[in-house]
């Protein structure tokens, strides 16, 4: 899951992802098209084989009806003139068989066309013993001495009668030029090659029975037998020559498939990318497990110890990377999850702090709350664990002035929060919608000077304004936090000015994991003996 998730969400893998999906879809459709084409070819082969079998079926039916006719009509004394006349009449029927024999006990005594033979021909043991139709076969025998000198044929015998079958060829319609056929006779558990391309039948019965499985070998095979299982025909079709003959159509189909695959890739990827978008995966896993708190120390400049921290939200993504709040807070707001989010964050922080900080450690905890959630009753519930009499934490909510919420009308909520033991700070003062009027008129605990002041370059207007802003807030008597203190020089300057209560910034500590924060606090937090320590 981890690796798949990383692969799916990484923007750098986007092209690879699309290429893989295109390839899979194309391969799938290509395999489908190849299957259909192979089935078509196999179907044509089956039709050809059926036609071949019909020819052999008709030949056997002829032979059977000739033997039946001989049984019925050859009633005269064997080999007498009337007998031979009757035999000739039967032989004359245009069914491909024109020579009949009288062969009691396997010895040919007379023939329809030549009459009594000079030397009776002993047939000997047959090549194919009498089967379902009671017909035994002597394959490709010389007919010399039977009035057909120099010719060969297959002799079929039933009871006292026999006949000569001219040499077998595959039917005149040997099928299209792209396939080869072979005719075999089944003999016992084996078979005998009779006509066509030798080896085709053996290969066909060894080949996979399912058509698409034959595609990789490049040759398709089909076979079929007559209902008696005596004649079998097989066909083979090499695919490459077939494909080269139809190259133009194939190129056209492949181009169409690749365009279709591109379109399907586009559809599939947009569904998949929507599923794996940060917003979707954030919302899918919107629970306390994904939430991580970072703790940024607040250095108390009066005592030079760390007496508090700001709790900052982080999100652990499916691939384990830590996501910063600017990416997920807008989603939280968009989906009206702000209250639940703050409650989850407060609960996570409480679990972290209660587990890792000593109970003797008093600590101020600044939480950012969404301006729209400024509802004292609800916030008091959320912060309840921090408000218990035994709690050694002082929770503070940081509020940003926005167009959305007018802090002036919120004094009642602020009062209720303060009464319940929750401090209230104005955050990012001096940026956005900050109002001097609010600063003067609102009753609250502290002000955080926007970090752009302390972070400003040495010779900038902003940095000159830093002193004035400090002066301004100081005049209101509120606790003053200067954020964005990145250098030792800035920290010294704030310390020397004597008007700033807390400093916060990378120059003191970056937002830390709970473990790192606990360690930092052990070193820089207030000591029981009250000895201050220098930080930074």
Binding site for ligand C2E (CB under 6 A): 296, 312-313, 324-325, 329, 345, 368-370, 398, 427-428, 451, 455, 483-486, 504-506, 511
Nearest residue to the partner ligand C2E, using Cβ? 505
In the DSSP assignment, the letter for residue 303 is T
Q: Which is nearer to ligand C2E, 48 or 483 (CB)?
A: 483
Q: Whole-number minimum distance, CB 481 to Ca ion, in Å? A: 8
174: exposed, middle or buried (C-beta count within 10 Å: 0-12, 13-18, 19+)? middle
Q: Which does 413 bind (CB under 5 to 8 A by kind): Ca ion, ligand C2E, none?
A: none
* Burial of 412 (C-beta count, 10 Å sphere; 0-12/13-18/19+): exposed
Smallest distance, ligand C2E to C-beta of residue 328, A: 10
The nearer residue to ligand C2E, 48 or 401, going by C-beta atoms, is 401
Alpha carbon distance 357, 361 (integer Å)? 7
The site partner of 175 among ligand C2E, Ca ion, none (C-beta below 5 to 8 Å per kind) is none
- Among Ca ion, ligand C2E, none, residue 486 binds (CB under 5-8 Å by kind): ligand C2E
Q: Minimal distance in Å, beta carbon 300 to Ca ion?
A: 17
Q: In what order do the strands lie in the sheet with 107-111?
A: 115-122, 107-111, 99-102, 161-165, 152-158, 136-142
**Which residues partner with 163 through β-bridges?**
100, 156
Asked if residue 368 binds Ca ion (CB under 5 A), the reply is yes
Residues 6+ apart with CB under 8 A from 366: 298, 308, 309, 310, 311, 396, 397, 398, 425
Q: Which is nearer to ligand C2E, 201 or 425 (CB)?
A: 425
Residue 33 or 431 with smaller CB distance to ligand C2E: 431
Cα(214)–Cα(493) distance, rounded to whole angstroms?
A: 83
**Binding partner of residue 511 among ligand C2E, Ca ion, none, CB under 5 to 8 Å per kind?**
ligand C2E
Q: Are 236 and 203 in contact (CB under 8 A)?
A: yes
Residue number, 272 or 456, with CB nearest to ligand C2E = 456
Residue 293 CB, shortest distance to Ca ion, in Å, is 13
Rounded CA gap, 368 and 402, in Å?
Answer: 14
Residue 262 CB, nearest distance to ligand C2E (Å)?
40
Judged by beta carbon distances under 5 to 8 A according to partner kind, the member of Ca ion, ligand C2E, none in contact with residue 290 is: none
Q: Is 265:205 a contact under the CB 8 Å cutoff?
A: no
- Residue 317 interaction partner, one of Ca ion, ligand C2E, none, beta carbon < 5-8 Å per kind: none
- What whole-number distance in Å separates Cα of residue 183 and Cα of residue 231? 7
Q: Which is nearer to ligand C2E, 66 or 397 (CB)?
A: 397
Nearer to Ca ion, 25 or 426 (CB): 426
- CB of 200 or CB of 292, closer to ligand C2E: 292
Per DSSP bridges, beta strands 305-316 and 322-323 are antiparallel
Closest separation between CB of residue 334 and Ca ion, Å? 20
The entry of Ca ion, ligand C2E, none near residue 370 (CB within 5 to 8 angstroms by kind) is ligand C2E
Q: Which residues contact 435 (CB under 8 A, 6 or more apart)?
A: 401, 407
Backbone angles phi, psi at 383, to 5 degrees: -90, 5
Could you tell me the smallest distance in angstroms from the CB atom of residue 368 to ligand C2E? 3
Is residue 224 a contact partner of residue 46, using CB atoms and an 8 Å limit? yes
Q: Which does 74 bind (CB under 5 to 8 A by kind): Ca ion, ligand C2E, none?
A: none
The crossing angle, in degrees rounded to 10, of helices 514-524 and 338-356 is 50
State in angstroms the smallest separation of the CB of 461 from ligand C2E: 19
User: Which stretch in 29-37, 46-54, 77-85, 391-399 sits in contact with Ca ion by CB under 5 A?
Assistant: 391-399
Residues of this chain, 398-437, that bind Ca ion according to CB under 5 A: 398, 427-428
Choose one: 59-67, 123-131, 396-404, 414-422; the region binding Ca ion (CB under 5 A): 396-404
Give 182 or 450: the residue with its C-beta nearer to Ca ion: 450
Q: How far is the CB of 442 from Ca ion (least distance, A)?
A: 17
Output the CA torsion 281→283→287→291 (10° steps).
70
Q: State in angstroms the smallest separation of the CB of 483 from Ca ion.
A: 5
**Distance of closest approach, residue 263 Cβ to ligand C2E, in angstroms:** 41
Q: Is 338:379 a contact under the CB 8 Å cutoff? A: no
Residue 281 or 451 having the CB closest to ligand C2E? 451
> Whole-number minimum distance, CB 475 to ligand C2E, in Å?
23
Of 467, 400, 468, give the one whose Cα is nearest residue 438.
Answer: 400
Give the E-state strand segments of 190-290 in sequence order: 190-196, 219-225, 231-238
Q: Which is nearer to Ca ion, 155 or 399 (CB)?
A: 399
DSSP secondary structure string for all residues of 167-205: PP---S----TT-EEEEEEEETTEEEEEEESTTHHHHHH
Q: Tell me which residues in 463-502 interact with Ca ion (CB under 5 A).
A: 483
- Interface region with Ca ion, contact rule CB under 5 A, candidates 293-301, 393-401, 460-468, 502-510: 393-401
Binding site for Ca ion (CB under 5 A): 368, 398, 427-428, 483
């Amino acid at each position: 899951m981890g690796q798949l998730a990383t692969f799916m969400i990484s923007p750098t893998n986007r092209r690879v992802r699309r290429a893989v999906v295109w390839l899979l879809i194309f391969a799938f459709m290509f395999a489908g098209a190849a299957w259909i084409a192979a089935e078509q070819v196999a179907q044509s082969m089956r039709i050809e084989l059926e036609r071949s079998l019909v020819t052999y079926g008709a030949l056997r039916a002829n032979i059977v009806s000739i033997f039946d006719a001989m049984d019925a009509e050859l009633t005269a004394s064997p080999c007498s003139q009337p007998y031979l006349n009757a035999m000739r009449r039967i032989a004359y029927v245009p069914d491909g068989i024109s020579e009949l024999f009288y062969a009691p006990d396997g010895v040919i005594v007379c023939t329809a066309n030549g009459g009594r033979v000079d030397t009776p021909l002993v047939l000997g043991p047959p090549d194919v013993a009498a089967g379902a139709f009671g017909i035994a076969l002597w394959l490709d025998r010389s007919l010399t001495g039977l009035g057909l000198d120099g010719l060969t044929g297959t002799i079929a015998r039933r009871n006292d009668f026999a006949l000569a079958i001219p040499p077998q060829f595959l039917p005149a319609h040997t099928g299209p030029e792209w396939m080869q056929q072979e005719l075999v006779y089944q003999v016992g558990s084996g078979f005998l090659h009779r006509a066509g391309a030798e080896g085709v039948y053996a290969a066909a019965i060894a080949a996979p029975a399912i058509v698409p499985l034959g595609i990789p070998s490049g040759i398709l095979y089909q076979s079929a037998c007559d209902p008696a299982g005596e004649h079998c025909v097989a066909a083979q079709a090499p695919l490459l020559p077939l494909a080269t003959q139809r190259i133009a159509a194939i190129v056209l189909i492949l181009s169409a498939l690749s365009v279709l695959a591109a379109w399907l890739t586009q559809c599939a990827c947009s569904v998949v990318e929507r599923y794996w978008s940060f917003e979707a995966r954030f919302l899918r896993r919107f629970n306390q497990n994904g939430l991580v708190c970072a703790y940024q120390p607040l250095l108390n400049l009066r005592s030079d110890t760390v007496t508090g921290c700001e709790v900052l939200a982080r999100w652990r993504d499916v691939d384990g990377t830590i996501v910063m709040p600017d990416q997920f807070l807008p989603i939280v707001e968009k989906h009206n999850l702000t209250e639940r989010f703050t409650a989850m964050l407060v609960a996570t922080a409480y679990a972290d702090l209660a587990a890792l900080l000593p109970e003797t450690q008093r600590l101020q905890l600044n939480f950012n709350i969404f301006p729209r959630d400024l509802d004292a009753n609800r916030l008091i519930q959320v912060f309840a664990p921090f408000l218990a009499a035994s709690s050694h934490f002082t929770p503070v909510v940081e509020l940003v002035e926005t167009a959305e919420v007018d802090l002036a009308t919120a004094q009642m909520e602020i009062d209720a929060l303060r009464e319940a033991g929750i401090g209230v700070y104005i955050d990012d003062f001096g940026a956005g919608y900050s109002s001097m009027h609010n600063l003067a008129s609102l009753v609250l605990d502290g002000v955080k000077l926007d970090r752009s002041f302390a972070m400003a370059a040495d010779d900038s207007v902003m940095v000159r304004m830093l002193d004035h802003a400090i002066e301004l807030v100081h005049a209101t008597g509120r606790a003053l936090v200067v954020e964005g203190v990145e250098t030792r020089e800035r920290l010294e300057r704030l310390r020397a000015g004597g008007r700033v209560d807390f400093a916060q910034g990378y120059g003191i500590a970056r937002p830390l994991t709970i473990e790192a924060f606990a360690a930092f606090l052990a070193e820089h937090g207030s000591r029981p003996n009250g000895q201050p320590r220098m930080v930074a």
